[in-house]
Amino acid sequence: MRQHKLLSSSASNNRRPRILYLVCAVALFSLLLFAIQSSFFSGSLISDRNREQISVLSNFQSSVQQCVAKKGLGLTAQIIDHCKLILKYPEGTNSTWYNAQFKHFEPLEYKFDVCESILLWEQYRNMTTILTREYLDVRPDGWVDYAPQRIAQLGAKKCYNKTLCEENLNILLPAKPPFHPRQFRTCAVVGNSGDLLKTEFGEEIDSHDAVFRDNEAPVNEKYAKYVGLKRDFRLVVRGAARNMVPILNGSDDEILIIKSLTHREINAIIKTIPNPVYLFQGIVLRRGAKGTGMKSIELALSMCDIVDIYGFTVDPGYTEWWVSLSGFWFGLDNMDFMTRYFSAPRKGHNPLQGRAYYQLLECLGLIRIHSPMRSMRKQDWSDVPSREMISQAHAAAKQLKLSQSNQAGDLGQFGSCKVWGDVDPKKMGPVSGSPDMSDVRKKSNYNKWEVMPFKSLRNEAQDHYIQMQGVSLYKMDGNRLDDLVCVRHPLKSDV
């Protein structure tokens, strides 16, 4: 009996932990179940939200696809997913550009990421693309590390002090942005393709609110019917800056924007001309001169609603054009025109890829392409996705990117601002220039943009300024989307 009791007690002693284990296991199991369920639930919530964005982007993709089919002169778009697509040239397209380095002809298919493209290029519409004093003040080590990179003679060496850099840059440095997003409604960007001679776009080009030209492109009566006469902006590389005086030929208001670096020689020339001269902000330093056309478009987008491009080699059969056109050019005795307006496809350039990319930009609503083959048909922009659709696609791409990188919520229009700075309204010098400014510059019109009263800006530019709460956005380096330098200005009726 005792033994039994002992046994039974030991059995009950054994049973208690077993029940405890069971209870524990059940609790653990339900906890696990709950965890799985709730993670599944929140996961499905996230993917629900993403599903909405993906559907917006997929609709957008098919609009882009239709646009390419209508406007692409044979190009077709094959959709891979809600972001990626492949632009394809028709079977049998003669790829005459041989890449000697990789020993192959350029391919007929190019993959693009529409989400990335729209995030990048829509942002340009809100950017400041002129180097300013406020930018150098706000950017960490702006004067000591960045400024010397924009002055050729200093090379990679640092400015030992700010004064040294100021001496070199004063003449091209406005205190604050001289141009504003949305400043112009329509702009024409005129490239230097020989195709310009096949058409007579002169009048059409001149009808724009602002015209952007490149390097040494001549503007005069002789070529007026091809390229027009209006001159507002000229994006120049430093080599071209040397020949500016004859090229400008007394065109005092034309604004020169130096793409890369300045140096003593350029500064000496600037002192002799009354034209406004600035440095482009937003180049990728030390990467050669590739893609001047893209930079002109970027510059134009930073101040124009509608950007029409002319004189870019965008039609099929670029090599054939050159061969068949050279007779035409020589016949016109246009050696000057030819050297200035025609640049043969450069080494390392991929003409078919470039052409496809321009087509994509058109179908993303960023540019409107004008070319000989397009001029033969009715130009109609109803094939391009609407502004509203583009904004929605942009918002969807942004949210998708945020949720993929696990960033918290929507950080609003300043989410990409990495560095912030304020402008002291009392210290704000209105115009560029230095105390030893030459008389020709003192009397010039170069400050007209820099002291332009807020009220005389286009309504759209004023609205934008107010919506942006007086903040100017600048690129830090290259094409990174998420490291902007942002400068606050007083939100009073004075830009």
Ligand X SMILES: *[C@@H]1O[C@H](CO)[C@@H](O)[C@H](O)[C@H]1NC(C)=O
Residues comprising the chain, all counted: 495
Q: Which stretch binds ligand X (CB under 6 A): 61-69, 97-105, 291-299, 460-468?
A: 460-468
> Contact with ligand X (CB under 6 A): which of 12, 19, 103, 250?
250
The structure tokens listed for 223 are 């070529």
Q: Which is nearer to ligand X, 71 or 231 (CB)?
A: 231
In single-letter form, the type of residue at position 406 comes to N
Binding test (CB under 6 A) with ligand X, winner from 126, 193, 199, 267: 126
122 touches ligand X (CB under 6 A): yes
Tell me if 163 contacts ligand X by CB under 6 A: yes
Q: Which is nearer to ligand X, 50 or 96 (CB)?
A: 96
Given candidates 94, 324, 339, 445, which one binds ligand X under the rule CB under 6 A?
94
Query: Minimum CB separation from ligand X for residue 220, in Å?
Result: 4
Query: In 228-280, where do the E strands start and end?
Result: 233-236, 255-258, 277-279
Which residue lies nearer to ligand X by CB, 70 or 387? 387
Neighbours of 477 (CB within 10 A): 13
210-214: strand order across its sheet: 277-279, 255-258, 233-236, 210-214, 184-190, 304-310, 368-369
Q: Does 243 bind ligand X (CB under 6 A)?
A: no
Q: Is 117 in the site for ligand X (CB under 6 A)?
A: no
Is the C-alpha dihedral spanning 119, 120, 126, 132 positive or negative? positive
CA atoms within 13 Å, Cβ hemisphere of 25: 6
- Among 61, 63, 117, 123, indicate the residue that binds ligand X (CB under 6 A): 123
DSSP code string of 395-439: HHHHHHHHHHTT--S--GGGTTEEEEEE--TTT---S---TT--H
Shortest Cβ 280–ligand X spacing (Å): 20
237 scored as a contact of ligand X (CB under 6 A): no
Looking at the Cβ atoms of 412 and 453, the one nearer to ligand X is 412
Q: Is 329 helix (H, G, I), strand (E, B) or coil?
A: helix
Give which of 304, 364, 357, 294 is closest to 115, Cα–Cα.
364
Count interface residues toward ligand X (CB under 6 A).
15
Task: Give yes or no for residue 479 binding ligand X (CB under 6 A).
Answer: no
Q: Of the candidates 170, 353, 399, 413, which one interacts with ligand X according to CB under 6 A?
A: 413
Say whether residue 220 binds ligand X (CB under 6 A). Answer: yes
Q: Which helix (H) or strand (E) holds 44?
A: helix 2-71
- Binder among 84, 185, 349, 464 for ligand X (CB under 6 A): 464
Written as one letter, the residue type at 160 is Y
Q: Which residues bind ligand X (CB under 6 A)?
A: 94, 96, 122-123, 126, 161, 163-164, 220, 249-250, 413, 464, 467-468
